[in-house]
Amino acid sequence: MVFSRLEEIEARFNFTVATASLRSGGWKACFYVSIVYVIAIFAGRHYMESRPKFNLRRLLFGWNMLLALFSALGVRRVAVPIFTDIISFGWDKAICSQDPFHKRGALWMYVFGLSKIPELFDTSFIVLRKQPLIFLHWYHHVTVFCYGFHSFTDPQGHVRLFVAMNFFVHMVMYSYYAVRAQGLVRLPRIVNITITVMQIAQMFIGLLIVVEATI
């Protein structure tokens, strides 16, 4: 029932109409948002230096579960069709096809870009709980946020491969964060290391995809 309703929404969605204002130059606002984001997190860390940290365990669990479920749905609606296309039509079709922006995948290209806005609030939990803030964390948020919005202005077939990878990595990552926030199960450190490697790997794989798509 839920998926039937979702398929109706996907069928009616028009990517061109939805992103018209962004293609006219509105996407550039993401750079200003990114600047404010970076300033805010370091100002917040300075503000919290002399103040006790917040617990936020329950809120953090709920937030991560919500993003994990959203990412899992994204994997189901984006990654599965990609594998189907690769098997049926080959790698070139999967990279170069514009179908994702005109058929069922169009909604998920759009939702993916918009989802990068609330994901910026991940950092607020780190700041308010006085957790270590590494460069990779905020750099990843800024670059994926800007890339997601830029993809609205110049949609390319290979973008859905980025989207699929990011949905998958986030499904695993936010599930891990939710389990850790709950505090009932202590996961080995190798899990955290593996997720970090996955985050870095998707960047390099993304570069290879771009090179392949432009040759």
Q: pTM (2 decimals)?
A: 0.86
Cα(91)–Cα(87) distance, rounded to whole angstroms? 8
- Tokens standing for residue 53: 């940290």
Q: Which has the closest alpha carbon to 111: 187, 4, 9, 196? A: 9
* Residue 52 reports pLDDT greater than 90: yes
Cα(56)–Cα(68) distance, rounded to whole angstroms? 18
Per-residue pLDDT tens for 122-179? 999 999 999 999 888 899 899 888 888 877 777 777 777 888 888 999 999 999 999 9
Q: Which has the closest alpha carbon to 71: 111, 107, 100, 98? A: 111
Cα(98)–Cα(159) distance, rounded to whole angstroms? 10
Per-residue pLDDT tens for 184-212? 778 888 888 898 899 888 888 877 877 77
Using N-to-C axis directions, what is the helix angle for 159-182 and 189-214, rounded to 10°?
Answer: 170
Cα(77)–Cα(97) distance, rounded to whole angstroms? 16
What is the identity of the amino acid at 155?
P
On whether the CB atoms of residues 94 and 82 are closer than 8 A, the answer is yes
> What are the φ/ψ torsions at residue 209 (nearest 5 degrees)?
-65, -40
Cα(195)–Cα(189) distance, rounded to whole angstroms? 10
Place of tokens 């709980």: 129
Q: Where residue 101 falls among pLDDT bands split at 50, 70, 90?
A: low
What is the identity of the amino acid at 138?
W
Positions marked active-site: 140
